[in-house]
């Protein structure tokens, strides 16, 4: 059998004259330096069944978009094997079926290497042409089925992306549009989701002329199920008892207990574990009352950058009936900052693992920055730990800063 190389890329239409028949149902790109092999295959394939484009190898032919690729691998030519593996590396993630031609002289090692690289099957040029045609037809039918499934999947993914973008916008609408004014201080917050929507949530709101309420909540996990729980928290958290024209602020520990009862009574199919801190700040006395439900402990940052972990204990929400939460109080001094965060902020280790001690180092190095810059520095550290990948978990940061020199009334 001659191995004279074809000198250029050619397209075969068999004996049919150009324009004498409709286009073939699919196209085959045959890569072979053996002109006799190319001629034999082209001669036996009905042009009404398939169009064969032949190239001796080298760069991918300009404009080539075949439905199938046949690679001629020469058993006594190492360069032929290298060319085949290079082409397979380029095409293996695409939808094009790839087969290899050989005269049954390739070694077992080479055949295994080609299978691993993406070859679906081997064909011998001397096989019965009807059998070759049947095998190629079977592969093309499988490709059409796969392509149709991929189109449906892409359409479904596009529709799902649109729905998730809408869910993201709706969830962001639940966040405070602007920070409420605070006598002698100010709030700042950041929330960044690991997916389209977050299982983290925060809110800051005025309760009356003296008090502001604030919380950070984290539904275990992230994505849509966790995000739906954040809506439940916003709608179910009770902050006041109203009796006619009178009202009473509900203490944070009682508010968490009531929310816990609501979660359990909802009888959701999957247990909705939620961690949370809810606090009430008195602008006049500078007293902050709060309660914690399985959440990372709040931090108090001194004017000179010192860190103090605040006390308080309580179980996760949605697990234990009749759970109780420890009431906590702290008078905030001028120049101090109160920082709340979700456990996603602890993923500042390069391995994306939670490392609370390293997070404390990050916070210490940024405590003298303006409050917004401090929160951004913490977020930057989390992003740096991912190496540019998506966040491993949602991250929420909320801080209350008191101005220097403000005295309690």
Q: How high is the pLDDT of residue 213?
A: 97
Q: How high is the pLDDT of residue 95?
A: 64
Q: At what angle do helices 224-236 and 252-265 cross, to 10 degrees?
A: 130
Same domain? 310 vs 390: yes
Tally Cβ neighbours within 10 Å of residue 26: 16
With cut-offs at 50, 70 and 90, classify the pLDDT of residue 27.
confident
Query: Residue 291: enclosing H or E segment and its boundaries?
Result: strand 287-293
Same domain? 144 vs 71: yes
Same domain? 355 vs 218: yes
Specify the higher pLDDT residue, 364 or 129: 364
pLDDT beyond 80 at 96: no
With cut-offs at 50, 70 and 90, classify the pLDDT of residue 93.
low
Q: Is residue 216 part of a domain?
A: yes
Give the mean pLDDT of 77-92.
Answer: 81
Q: Return the closest-CA partner of residue 234 out of 192, 276, 280.
A: 276
114 three-class SS: helix
Q: How high is the pLDDT of residue 18?
A: 42
Specify the higher pLDDT residue, 185 or 1: 185
Q: How high is the pLDDT of residue 181?
A: 93
Domain end among 115, 149, 183: 149
Domain end among 149, 167, 192: 149
pLDDT beyond 90 at 136: no
Could you tell me the two tokens for 193?
Answer: 């989701």
Domain end among 96, 131, 149: 149
pLDDT beyond 70 at 271: no
Give the mean pLDDT of 313-318.
Answer: 93
Sign (positive or negative) of CA dihedral 284, 297, 314, 382:
positive
Our measurement of the distance from residue 26's CA atom to the centroid of its chain's CA atoms, rounded to an integer in Å, reads 37
**Cα–Cα distance between 236 and 263 in angstroms, integer?**
9
Specify the higher pLDDT residue, 271 or 127: 127
Could you tell me the two tokens for 27?
Answer: 């196209």
50 three-class SS: strand
Q: Is residue 164 part of a domain?
A: no
What's 239's DSSP letter? -
Give the mean pLDDT of 27-33.
Answer: 86
**Cα–Cα distance between 255 and 174 in angstroms, integer?**
20
Residue 236 belongs to a domain with what CATH number? 3.60.40.10
Asked if residues 327 and 251 have their Cβ atoms less than 8 Å apart, the reply is: yes
Same domain? 228 vs 285: yes
**Cα–Cα distance between 394 and 193 in angstroms, integer?**
4
**Cα–Cα distance between 257 and 260 in angstroms, integer?**
5
Percent of the chain with pLDDT over 90: 37
Give the mean pLDDT of 261-285.
Answer: 86
Residue 24 belongs to a domain with what CATH number? 3.40.50.2300
Could you tell me the two tokens for 171?
Answer: 């969830």
pLDDT beyond 80 at 373: yes
Q: How high is the pLDDT of residue 186?
A: 95
pTM, two decimal places = 0.65
Sign (positive or negative) of CA dihedral 42, 47, 50, 52:
positive
Q: How high is the pLDDT of residue 269?
A: 61
Q: How high is the pLDDT of residue 119?
A: 84
Same domain? 356 vs 246: yes
- Least reliable range by pLDDT among 41-55, 231-245, 332-346, 352-366: 41-55
Find tokens 């120049």 and name the residue: 335
**Cα–Cα distance between 237 and 255 in angstroms, integer?**
7
For residue 75, the enclosing domain spans 10-149
CA-based R_g, the chain, Å:
33
**Cα–Cα distance between 229 and 263 in angstroms, integer?**
9
**Cα–Cα distance between 115 and 102 in angstroms, integer?**
13
Give all strands of the β-sheet with 121-123 in edge-to-edge order: 10-12, 50-55, 26-31, 68-72, 98-101, 121-123
Same domain? 208 vs 326: yes
- Number of domains within the chain: 2
Phi, psi of 194 (to 5 degrees): -80, -20
Query: Which of 76-80, 263-267, 268-272, 375-379 has maximum average pLDDT?
Result: 375-379
- Least reliable range by pLDDT among 59-63, 80-84, 363-367: 59-63
pLDDT beyond 80 at 360: yes
**Cα–Cα distance between 276 and 153 in angstroms, integer?**
38
**Cα–Cα distance between 364 and 190 in angstroms, integer?**
18
Same domain? 144 vs 179: no
Query: Mean pLDDT, the chain, as a whole number?
Result: 83
Same domain? 240 vs 373: yes
Q: Is residue 275 part of a domain?
A: yes
Q: How high is the pLDDT of residue 391?
A: 83
**Cα–Cα distance between 385 and 374 in angstroms, integer?**
17
Percent of the chain with pLDDT over 70: 87
Specify the higher pLDDT residue, 4 or 141: 141
Q: Is residue 409 part of a domain?
A: no
Q: How high is the pLDDT of residue 13?
A: 45
Q: Is residue 161 part of a domain?
A: no
Q: How high is the pLDDT of residue 10?
A: 52
Same domain? 97 vs 190: no
pLDDT beyond 80 at 233: yes
Burial class (CB in 10 A: 0-12, 13-18, 19+), 145: exposed
Give all strands of the β-sheet with 395-402 in edge-to-edge order: 185-192, 395-402, 337-341, 299-301, 307-309
With cut-offs at 50, 70 and 90, classify the pLDDT of residue 123.
confident
Q: Is residue 267 part of a domain?
A: yes
Specify the higher pLDDT residue, 50 or 264: 264
Same domain? 329 vs 206: yes
With cut-offs at 50, 70 and 90, classify the pLDDT of residue 330.
very high
pLDDT beyond 70 at 222: no
What's 37's DSSP letter? H
Give the mean pLDDT of 131-152.
Answer: 77
Sign (positive or negative) of CA dihedral 235, 238, 244, 246:
negative
Tally Cβ neighbours within 10 Å of residue 326: 15
Q: Is residue 346 part of a domain?
A: yes
Q: Return the closest-CA partner of residue 348 out of 380, 321, 374, 308.
A: 380
Query: Which of 83-97, 152-166, 371-385 has maximum average pLDDT?
Result: 371-385
Q: Is residue 186 part of a domain?
A: yes
Query: Which of 56-65, 86-95, 284-293 has maximum average pLDDT?
Result: 284-293
Same domain? 55 vs 136: yes
Same domain? 249 vs 373: yes
Give the mean pLDDT of 134-154.
Answer: 78
DSSP-derived secondary structure for 309-342: E-----PPBTTSTT-----EEEEPPTT-EEEEE-
Specify the higher pLDDT residue, 8 or 194: 194
Q: How high is the pLDDT of residue 42?
A: 81
């Amino acid at each position: 059998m001659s191995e004279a190389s074809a000198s250029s890329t050619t397209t075969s239409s068999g004996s049919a004259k150009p324009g004498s028949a409709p286009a073939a149902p699919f196209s085959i790109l045959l890569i072979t330096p053996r002109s006799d092999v190319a001629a034999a295959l082209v001669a036996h394939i009905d042009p009404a069944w398939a169009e064969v484009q032949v190239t001796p190898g080298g760069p991918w032919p300009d404009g080539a978009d075949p439905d199938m690729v046949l690679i001629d691998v020469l058993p006594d030519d190492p360069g032929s094997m290298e060319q085949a593996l290079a082409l397979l590396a380029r095409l293996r993630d695409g939808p094009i079926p790839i087969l290899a031609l050989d005269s049954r002289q390739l070694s077992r090692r080479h055949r295994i290497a080609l299978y691993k690289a993406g070859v679906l099957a081997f064909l011998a040029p001397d096989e019965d042409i009807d059998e070759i045609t049947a095998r190629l037809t079977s592969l093309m039918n499988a490709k059409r089925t796969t392509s149709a499934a991929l189109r449906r999947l892409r359409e479904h993914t596009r529709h799902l992306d649109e729905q998730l973008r809408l869910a993201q916008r709706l969830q962001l609408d639940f966040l405070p549009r602007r920070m409420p004014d605070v006598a002698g201080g100010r709030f700042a917050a950041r929330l960044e989701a690991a997916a389209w929507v977050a299982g983290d949530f925060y809110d800051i709101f005025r309760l009356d002329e003296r008090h502001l309420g604030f919380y950070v909540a984290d539904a275990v996990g992230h994505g849509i199920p966790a995000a739906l729980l954040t809506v439940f928290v916003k709608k179910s958290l009770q902050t006041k008892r109203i009796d006619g024209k009178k009202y009473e602020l509900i203490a944070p520990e009682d508010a968490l207990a009531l929310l816990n009862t609501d979660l359990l009574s909802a009888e959701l199919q999957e247990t909705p574990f939620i961690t949370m801190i809810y606090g009430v700040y008195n602008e006049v006395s500078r007293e902050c009352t709060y309660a914690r439900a399985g959440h990372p402990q709040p931090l108090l940052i001194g004017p000179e950058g010192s860190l103090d972990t605040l006390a308080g204990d309580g179980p996760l929400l949605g697990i234990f009936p009749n759970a109780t939460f420890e009431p906590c109080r702290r008078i905030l001094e001028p120049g101090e900052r109160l920082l709340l965060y979700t456990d996603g902020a602890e993923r500042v280790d390069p391995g994306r693992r939670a490392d609370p001690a390293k997070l404390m180092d990050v916070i210490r190095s940024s405590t003298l920055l303006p409050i917004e810059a401090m929160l951004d520095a913490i977020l930057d550290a989390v992003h740096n730990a991912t190496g540019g990948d998506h966040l491993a978990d949602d991250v929420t940061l909320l801080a209350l800063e008191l101005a220097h020199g403000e005295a309690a009334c």
